[in-house]
A and B are shown apart, each in its own frame.
Chain A
Amino acid sequence: DAGVIQSPRHEVTEMGQEVTLRCKPISGHNSLFWYRQTMMRGLELLIYFNNNVPIDDSGMPEDRFSAKMPNASFSTLKIQPSEPRDSAVYFCASSFSVTYGYTFGSGTRLTVV
């Protein structure tokens, strides 16, 4: 099992540019989560999907953030336009059900300059 795969591992972009983060969940998992981690705010849930359907996006900070899950094996988190305060580590996690712990990817470290 390859685990949750995120790409890219590191992203440096200029303010105003569009950024797309990618995630491939573990095969067979039906829930997918996007988290953001910063020193100040810790790990924050941005949005999650069950069976490819967005369930709760109340953690998405602004309209500049959007997420999609077109199929069970792929999800994207897009920031457009990006701002320096979006700099953080973004994690994707997947799960089979509430009775199982989540498996996290290795994260994407985003730096917006």
Chain B
Amino acid sequence: GQQLNQSPQSMFIQEGEDVSMNCTSSSIFNTWLWYKQDPGEGPVLLIALYKAGELTSNGRLTAQFGITRKDSFLNISASIPSDVGIYFCAGQGGMYSGGGADGLTFGKGTHLIIQP
């Protein structure tokens, strides 16, 4: 089945530093999503990308959908303590013909730890 390779597995950075993480796949995806998960909670959507080459920002977050449709990256600028958590990339293969949504394939996550 489809697999997503997410890296790095963990990051220890200083507050104020920029962060970069990425995901690669052996398969093509039509949609790339980036989620953040806090302890004891479900993942929360940060950014969604729907078109190859698309570059999207959400505040200090920037994500890109790779041209080959097999990769995506997420950057966080000027990290702050509340950025701590686990970041997941997720890919979706396409629209189910019935008009609903397909299931997502998730990467293993990047644990972001920020030292004040």
Residue positions of A touching B, CB distance < 8 A:
4, 30-31, 33, 35, 42-45, 48, 50-51, 53, 55-56, 59, 91, 93, 95-107
Residue positions of B touching A, CB distance < 8 A:
30-31, 33, 35, 40-45, 48, 50, 88, 92, 94-96, 98-109
B104 to A45, Cβ gap below 8 A?
yes
B30 to chain A, nearest CB (A): 8
- Chain B residue contacts of A56, Cβ below 8 A: 102-103
B103 to A50, Cβ gap below 8 A?
no
- Chain B residue contacts of A55, Cβ below 8 A: 96, 98, 100
B37 to chain A, nearest CB (A): 9
Closest 8 CB pairs of A and B: A50-B100, A104-B42, A101-B45, A43-B106, A45-B103, A31-B100, A31-B101, A98-B95
Q: Which B residue sits closest to A46, measured CB to CB?
A: B103
> CA A59 – CA B106 in complex, angstroms?
13
Partner of A43, one of B48, B88, B98, B101: B88
A98 to B94, Cβ gap below 8 A?
yes
* Interface hub of A93, A98, A104, A105 (most chain B Cβ within 10 A): A98
A97 to B106, Cβ gap below 8 A?
no
- Chain A residue contacts of B104, Cβ below 8 A: 33, 45, 102
- Chain B residue contacts of A91, Cβ below 8 A: 42-43
Partner of A104, one of B44, B99, B107: B44
- Chain A residue contacts of B96, Cβ below 8 A: 50, 55, 98
A105 to chain B, nearest CB (A): 5
Between-chain CB contacts (< 8 Å), 5 pairs: A43-B88, A50-B99, A59-B103, A99-B50, A101-B48
B105 to A45, Cβ gap below 8 A?
yes
Given contacts A31-B101, A42-B109, A43-B88, 10 further A-B contacts (CB under 8 A): A43-B106, A45-B104, A48-B102, A48-B103, A53-B98, A93-B42, A102-B104, A105-B42, A107-B41, A107-B42
- Chain B residue contacts of A101, Cβ below 8 A: 33, 45, 48
